[in-house]
Amino acid sequence: MIKRGAALRAAPLLIVLSSFRYGIIAILRYIAETLNQTYFQSEHLLFDPATPDHDAVNIVFAFPNTYTVGITSLGYQGVWANLATRSQINVSRWFTDAHEDLPRKIEILGFSFSWELDYVNILAALKKFDIPIDTCDRTDEHPLIFGGGPVLTANPEPFAAWFDIVLLGDGEELIGNFLNAYQEVRHASREIKLRHLAKLDGIYVPLLYEVTYESDDGAIASIQPIDSEIPSTIHKQTYKGNTLSASTVVTEKAAWESIFMVEVVRSCPEMCRFCLASYLTLPFRTASLESSLIPAIAKGLEVTKRLGLLGASITQHPEFDLLLDHLAQPQFDDVRLSLASVRTNTLTEKLARTLSTRDSRSVTIAIESGSERLREIINKKLHNDEIKQAAINAQAGGLKSLKLYGMAGVPMENDDDIDQTIEMLISLRKIAPKLKLTFGCSTFVPKSHTPLQWQGISTNAEKKMQYFRKKLLPKGIDFRPESYKDSIVQGLISRGDRRLTKLLRLACSYSDGDVPSDGSYKRAFKELRGQLPPLAWYVHEDWDVNQVLPWQHLRSALPVETLIKHRETSLAF
């Protein structure tokens, strides 16, 4: 206890400290307000927001990262515009460094979750809004928390305790169905709301499912709904229209400054055995050239001269050549065109020339490996000659650089496969000497809903990355590896179950709000030993195909039997 005399002596110091504190708070507020103004005032909206009704539902729609990152997400933009065009909804956007005016009482808080490690910012946001982290601790006084996006659609289980509702699949129709169903029970208790929403296609309420384990640190024994009123499986929703997404806002503050983005295709028909972008989002869909792409591009280019064509496999659009012809017209002369990665054997000289005359210097192709054998294992339908031809075409079309993506640690990979990749890259150096070559390399990580979901991450992958670096840099090939440590965390989250929730929170508590280091995860595993399986089981071990998967009750495009068949074909090589 402080004595009165000491307290009096300390008083001036306290006043100074407290003024200092309020000064800091005022400065932080000022910075936040300035950021809000610069961010939101720089936006060109490409839709007309509705005026909210007096009794509109107050929704805060959050992106758990900075404004610059969040506003560059086409998925986030689309859902926000979907909400903002409804007069029954009063939506405010929230990012970690800026937000719009927030309602006094939030009824629904939604997160768009597209990068695994953003879970740290979701935890921080829930604390900031003074909302209990775990859904079971929330009452009727708290908002409903929903989440959507690729991370949750792939495997929501490590985060199951934090979300009241997970929206699985494409947002186009799902958002409207969710809101309509919510209106039907808006004034009911939390329990009635959740039970009502859980009956809708594509809506997953984790709290209403019980998971049992063979032992505390063993595999999952079963996943069951808590009673017969709750569906035993939830099917991911697939939008079937031929108008895909396009930017709803253009801003110079986006990570790709002032870009107008248009989605040319959704999913990919190639079905490389490791590929989440293909398997999770099947079937392959294409935007109509005449009724969707051309009008969308015309509208976007009224406010900017930078155009991005997006999609996992855009050159496989059946009318891609016509789209190129369209963009080759003189009225697009001052447009800067950017493309997502293109399929290697569709990188023609015409495409390269269109890109270079539209201010693009480089193009990206994903080769995965320079080994024909390994590409067959993963079902990458590509020949070495096609890779070489792509480099020749890129150079002939006037591009300055070629980025190639590959992987290390692919199941069944051997040292010879790695050497073949190195030889391939060196041969490209000779074939297309004017091109700057960059090799971006990631570690193979098993992804849910793909045929290689049962295979673990190779413990040798990091060494292979170092070998690539040693061999490629002296040959003048830029080498850009993805962090092996990040891949381990991705693998953990990718194959995680509900027992990870505690671990993720613990790891965060060791890192003081920052993204936990690998040491924090190891420490958390040590602390929780006996309460969940070890890290190696989640990340490195090959799983038995008969094992109950954490996402077994969440159905994607293909049945598990088909994935097993595809896996068998791969591993039979």
Q: What does the binding site for ligand SF4 look like in residue numbers (CB under 6 A)?
A: 268, 270-272, 275, 277-278, 312-313, 343, 366
Nearest to 407 by CA among 433, 375, 434, 436: 375
Shorter beta-carbon distance to ligand SF4: residue 310 or 366 = 366
Contacts of 543 (CB under 8 A, 6+ apart): 453, 454, 456, 495, 549
* CB closer to ligand SF4, 122 vs 374: 374
Contacts of 566 (CB under 8 A, 6+ apart): 271, 273, 379, 451
> How many whole angstroms separate alpha carbon 395 and alpha carbon 388?
11
Bridge partners of 141?
none
Minimum distance from residue 174 beta carbon to ligand SF4 (Å): 23
Minimum CB distance to ligand SF4 smaller for 277 or for 560: 277
The secondary structure of residue 292, as a DSSP letter, is I
Q: How far is the CB of 268 from ligand SF4 (least distance, A)?
A: 3
- Give the 3-state secondary structure of residue 566: helix
What span, in angstroms and rounded, lies between the C-alpha atoms of 478 and 405?
Answer: 12
Of residues 267, 263, 264, 285, the one with CA closest to residue 276:
267
Rounded Cα distance, 382 and 3, in Å? 80
Kindly tell me which of 46 and 287 has the beta carbon lying closer to ligand SF4: 287
Nearer to ligand SF4, 144 or 276 (CB): 276
Distance of alpha carbon 130 from alpha carbon 145, whole angstroms: 13
Specify the residue, 71 or 342, whose C-beta has the smaller distance to ligand SF4.
Answer: 342
CA distance linking residue 232 with residue 173, whole number of Å: 22
Task: Report the candidate in 191, 33, 182, 54 with the shortest Cα–Cα distance to residue 110.
Answer: 182
Which residues, including other chains, have CB under 8 Å from residue 418's CB and lie 6 or more apart? 408, 464, 467, 468
CB of 272 to ligand SF4, least distance (A): 3
The token pair at 565 is 């068949």
Looking at beta carbons only, is 146 or 274 nearer to ligand SF4? 274
Q: Nearest approach, Cβ of 405 to ligand SF4 (angstroms)? A: 9
Q: Could you tell me the smallest distance in angstroms from the CB atom of residue 270 to ligand SF4?
A: 4
Residue number, 154 or 161, with CB nearest to ligand SF4: 154
Rounded to a whole number of angstroms, the minimum distance from the CB of residue 238 to ligand SF4 is: 17
Query: Which tokens belong to 165?
Result: 């509702």
To ligand SF4, the closest distance from the beta carbon of 269 in angstroms equals 7
- Find out whether 508 and 183 touch, Cβ atoms under 8 Å: no
Residue among 43 and 270 whose Cβ is closer to ligand SF4? 270
Nearer to ligand SF4, 138 or 317 (CB): 317
d(CA 219, CA 532): 9
CB of 264 to ligand SF4, least distance (A): 13
227-245: b (≥16 Cβ within 10 Å) or e: eeebbeebebbbbeeeebb
DSSP assignment string, 272-308: -TT-HHHHTTPSPEE--IIIIIHHHHHHHTTT-SEEE
Least distance (Å) between residue 380 CB and ligand SF4: 6
CA 179 vs. chain centroid, Å, equals 23
User: Both tokens of residue 36?
Assistant: 């809000």
Compute the least distance from the CB of residue 306 to ligand SF4, in Å: 24
